[in-house]
Chain A
């Protein structure tokens, strides 16, 4: 089978949000970067599917040149090759992102055959648009489900478990299909040293799509008020226990 997983490079934000001077992005000078969390589970699921069934796994990202680090991270976990839709760094809106990914999928499928499954994160950690995967599915005319915490192959179908209040709803989709997954789907493995070595030699196909005008146009980022209250210190060490219990009584939880 063939499996594609789409990922996004996002910063580790740490303890607080600090904006760049133009307030159009986060100040990332002192931050590390990662694959957006839901998508890490998409990568793991793609690797497991190919390990179990044979075939090829591919990782795709749309992002700046540095996003090749996240592609290498995915390949270190076992993904076979990568597609990098390189941008100049400025953010693309969800519509433009989806359109570029659709073009790349069509080109790859024309050369190598259809992807049975395409994984997306349910939403990206940073911009949280909740739509790129569903837009891609719509354009390709494939069934899609989001919010997935369980994925299992069953012949030509895939059984999907979607997290809902009080349990999980089950959908059975005919492949090819598009799946939006959430953290908790699996526990992603850590890369091995040989995995990292191999990742450096795996192919990355780079192209530079052009960015259309955004129809969801970012104007400004703002850090919401509320950060910066200061905790009332009830004490130090075990000696604080009576003060803690008194506070619990006062607010009615003990």
Chain B
């Protein structure tokens, strides 16, 4: 009996796909079982349901919330927990393959546990359709929670979405790195992004220098993007950065160094001074309109 923590995301469908390797039928607990969200309460419900069903394994999506709730469950039940897996094979111990360095490295590991706790890294598995319609056998379950399970609870929400195109959802992202040289140097990056209806991004060096806000940072510790085209200007291509843009369909690197690491991860390259190349591309776009 396999238990899955579900929400509305595509990542939950990927999670189900991997969980099926561990058996069927499956039971699920919803992330929004408690509104407003209270992560310890969700972990408590999972623990109670897992005991009730004698679950052999528990899965969740490797989203921020999925990893958070599963870590709380692991702490509460004294079990090991493997986050952000891209594959898992049932057995004793369970073999898992999981992401390190935001996906720049893979780890094979053994999970020694009577009830393995596994989250599935989002956007790493192709979703299999449910092979056949399943009979749903619903039964009521009343979870008795402790007051402490509700001590951590969302009490308010702050909307931070400003105007403009969201970095995570933009079809085109134009980013600048150290090679842009200054805060003011981003004017040409903004111009090109504007012409393409895209968003402006940057590398970690740029936010550390205070040239752009952290919300513009593409990378392992910034935003993960998935545009149709990613234009990386003056960015060397450190693994920290590539972990954030590997979801891009195509990458154009504009760099003075033809041997920069980003050239090994890009589809297209223009070699030379970005301060000449970027305005020239903008001018060419304008000319043809």
Interface residues of A (CB under 8 A from B): 13-17, 26, 37-38, 93-95, 98, 123, 125-131, 134-135, 137-139, 141, 143-147, 161, 163-164, 166-174, 182-184, 187-188, 214-224, 226-242, 244-245, 247-248, 251-254
Which A-chain residue is minimally distant from B251 (CB atoms)? A231
Contact between chains at B64 and A146 (CB < 8 Å): yes
A95:B252 contact, CB within 8 angstroms: no
> In the complex, A217 Cα to B96 Cα: how many Å?
10
Q: How far is the CA of A239 from the CA of B277 in the complex (A)?
A: 8
Q: Is the CB of B109 within 8 A of A144?
A: no
Q: Report chain A residues within 8 Å CB of B148.
A: 141
Quick check: B156 and A254 within 8 Å, CB to CB? Answer: no
Judging by beta carbons under 8 Å apart, are A251 and B105 in contact?
no
Instruction: List A contacts of B180 (CB < 8 A).
Output: none
Task: Enumerate B31-85 residues with CB–CB distance to A below 8 Å.
Answer: 37, 39-40, 62, 64, 67-68, 70-72, 74-76, 79-84
Q: A125-B221, A236-B271, A238-B279 given. 4 additional CB < 8 A pairs?
A: A17-B239, A128-B84, A219-B108, A234-B269
Answer whether residue B92 sits at the interface, using C-beta atoms and an 8 A cutoff: no
- A233 with B269, Cβ < 8 A, contacts A215-B113, A217-B110 known: yes
Measured between beta carbons, the chain A residues less than 8 angstroms from B246 are 226
How far, in Å, is A22 (CB) from chain B's closest CB? 13
A214 to B103, CA, bound (A): 22
State whether A144 touches B80 (Cβ < 8 A). no
Contacts of A231 on B, CB cut-off 8 Å? 251, 253, 263-264, 266-269
A233–B277 alpha-carbon span in the complex (Å): 14
Partner among B64, B157, B210, B215 whose Cβ is within 8 Å of the Cβ of A147: B64
Q: Is the CB of A218 within 8 A of B109?
A: yes
29 A–B pairs (Cβ distance < 8 Å), ordered by A: A15-B236, A15-B239, A38-B221, A94-B81, A125-B102, A125-B220, A125-B221, A127-B100, A128-B100, A131-B71, A131-B75, A144-B72, A146-B68, A161-B158, A167-B158, A170-B157, A171-B153, A184-B222, A188-B208, A216-B109, A216-B111, A217-B110, A223-B106, A235-B271, A238-B277, A240-B270, A241-B281, A248-B196, A251-B229
Beta-carbon contact of A135 and B75 below 8 Å: yes
> Do B112 and A184 touch (CB < 8 A)?
no
CB contacts (< 8 Å) of B249 on chain A: these are 251
How near does chain B come to A16, taking the closest CB pair, in angstroms?
A: 6
Q: Kindly state the separation between the CA atoms of A85 and B288 in the bound complex, as whole angstroms.
A: 63
Question: How near does chain B come to A118, taking the closest CB pair, in angstroms?
Answer: 14
Residue from B100, B221, B250 within 8 A of A183 (CB atoms): B221
| Residues in A whose Cβ lies below 8 Å from that of B83 | 123, 128-131
Chain A proximity of B203: nearest CB distance (Å)? 13
Please tell me if the beta carbons of B196 and A253 are within 8 angstroms of each other in the complex: yes
B238's partner among A13, A26, A219, A245 (CB-CB below 8 A) is A13
Q: Within 8 Å of chain A (Cβ to Cβ): is B217?
A: yes
A139 near B239: Cβ-Cβ < 8 Å = no
Using a Cβ–Cβ cut-off of 8 Å, how many residues does chain B contribute to the interface with A? 99
Contacts of A95 in B (CB 8 A): 74, 80
Cα distance A230–B102 in the bound complex, in angstroms: 22
Name B284's closest neighbour in chain A (CB-CB): A241
B240: contacting residue among A13, A174, A252, CB under 8 A: A13
Q: How far is the CA of A170 from the CA of B271 in the complex (A)?
A: 46
A25 CB to closest chain B CB (Å) equals 10
Report chain B residues within 8 Å CB of A214: 112
Q: Among A135, A143, A221, point to the contact of B107 (Cβ < 8 A).
A: A221
CB-CB < 8 A to A254: which residues of B? 196, 285
B228 within 8 Å of A by Cβ? Answer: yes
B11 at the interface (CB under 8 A from A): no
- Complex Cα distance, B238 from A232, in Å, reads 20
The smallest C-beta distance from B163 to any residue of chain A, in angstroms, reads: 14
- Interface residue? B126 (CB, 8 A): no
Min CB gap A111→B, angstroms: 25
* Per-residue A-contact encoding for B229-265, CB less than 8 Å = 1, 0 else: 1000000111110000010011111000010110111
Residues of B within 8 A of A233 (CB): 258, 268-271
Whether A138 touches B75, Cβ cut-off 8 Å, given contacts A130-B68, A233-B270, is yes
User: What B residues does A129 contact at CB under 8 A?
Assistant: 81, 83
**Given the complex, which residues of A lie within 8 Å of B79, measured CB to CB?**
215
How many angstroms between the C-alpha atoms of A215 and B95 in the bound complex? 12
Bound Cα distance A218, B159 (Å): 41
Q: A170-B158, A241-B281 are in contact. Are A232 and B267 (CB under 8 A)?
A: yes
